[in-house]
Structure 1
Amino acid sequence: MTIYVFRVWLQPNPLLGFEPDEEVWRDIEINGSHTLAAFHEAIFDAFKRWDSHAYEFITRDKEGIALRSYVHPHLYDGGVSWPPMDDGEIGRFIDRAVPDDAAAEAKERFRDLQRNPPTEGNAADTTVEELDPEQLGALSYTFDMGDGWEHSIDLQEAREGSLDGGPAVVNEQGEAPPQYRDLDDDQ
């Protein structure tokens, strides 16, 4: 079995008043046999959240192109990972958001994935190992679709072995913000 250590960065969220002076991240150690739902719980605990919400993981290739989404078990319906785009929408997106020097193969892969999105995965049925973390470009995680807490996840280490318990935080930087903005601060 493989043990993975992932660094989970919490992205700034200006709408919720979270614009830290330093990066905020947690290194989470997890067995490859743990599910993405277990990984979600570890992230949830690591950032001191207390109110459960929907979440989604998205796998990305080396160019950052979204490959597939894995959703909260209650959201899972076996549909597509994202709504398909028509050629006009794809062209506009590429013109606005994709660097001019991006490889033609990457643009074509993006076009294909947007025209024909893959089916979504169920986070409760997908193990970390199934994502093939050592070959994966990156992983992103969104918690609470309304408030949009965005996270970037990168593999830091992979080694043979097995954890005695569940996933655990093994290193951290920065203070986790409160899950909800204090509305009294707005007055």
Structure 2
Amino acid sequence: MTSYRFRVWLHPNPPLEFEPETEVWRDIEVDGSHTLTDVHEAIFDAFERRDTHAYEFLLRDEHGISIRSYAHPEMYSGEQSWPPMDDEQIDRFLEHAIPDDVSEETRDTFRDLRKNPPEERNAAETTIDELDLIESQSLFYEFDFGDGWEHHIEVEEIREGSLDGEPVIVDKQGDAPPQYPEK
């Protein structure tokens, strides 16, 4: 069995008045048999949330390109991970959002994934081991699509051995903001 240590950074969220002076993150250890839904629940607890909402994970390759989505079980449709883009949309995106120093191979990968999106997967049915992760690979996680709590998840460590029980918060930096700003 394999266990993983993830660092989960919470992105600033100016509409909800969350713009911290220092980075806010949590380190969470999970077992390879845990599902992405288990990871979602650990993040939910780690950032002291109380009101459940939909969520999605995007698996990224070594260049940061999203290669597949993993949907909240109630949102899972089995359709494509994202709507396909035509050549004009892809070219516009590459021109405005991708740095000039990105290799042509990476651009081609992005182009292919946007033209032919992979099938989305169900987060509740996908184990961490099934993601075939490598250290320093990343995922994107968004919770509550209305308020848009965005997170960057980096694979900090992969090691042999099983984690008994539920995912565990092992380190943290910064205070968790309230899920909803005080009015």
Q: TM-score range by the shorter chain?
A: over 0.9
Supply the RMSD in Å over aligned alpha carbons.
Answer: 1.0
| Letter in structure 1 aligned against 2:76 | Y
| Letter in structure 2 aligned against 1:88 | E
SS at match of 1:153: strand
**Aligned residues: percent identity?**
61
Aligned to 1:169: 169
Over residues 60-95 of structure 1, what are the superposed CA-to-partner deviations in whole Å (9 max), with x where a residue is unaligned?
111111100001000001001001001000000000
Stretches of structure 1 lacking an aligned partner (at least 5 in a row): none
Structure 1 pair 67–102 and aligned structure 2 pair: CA distance change class (3 A): same
Q: Distance in 2 between matches of 1:35 and 1:62?
A: 22
Stretches of structure 2 lacking an aligned partner (at least 5 in a row): none
For the 8 Å contact 2:27–2:169, the answer to whether it is kept is: yes
Number of positions where the alignment pairs a residue of Structure 1 with one of Structure 2: 183
Aligned to 2:92: 92
TM-score under structure 2 normalisation?
0.98
| Letter in structure 1 aligned against 2:129 | E
Runs (4 or more) in structure 1 with deviation over 4 Å come to: none
Q: Distance in 1 between matches of 2:5 and 2:40?
A: 14
Q: Distance in 2 between matches of 1:92 and 1:156?
A: 34
> Shift in Å at residue 137 of structure 1?
2.8
Structure 1 pair 23–36 and aligned structure 2 pair: CA distance change class (3 A): same
Over residues 109-144 of structure 1, what are the superposed CA-to-partner deviations in whole Å (9 max), with x where a residue is unaligned?
101000000000100000011111216731110000
Aligned to 1:138: 138
Aligned to 2:126: 126
TM-score under structure 1 normalisation?
0.96
SS at match of 1:178: coil
Q: Distance in 2 between matches of 1:136 and 1:93?
A: 25
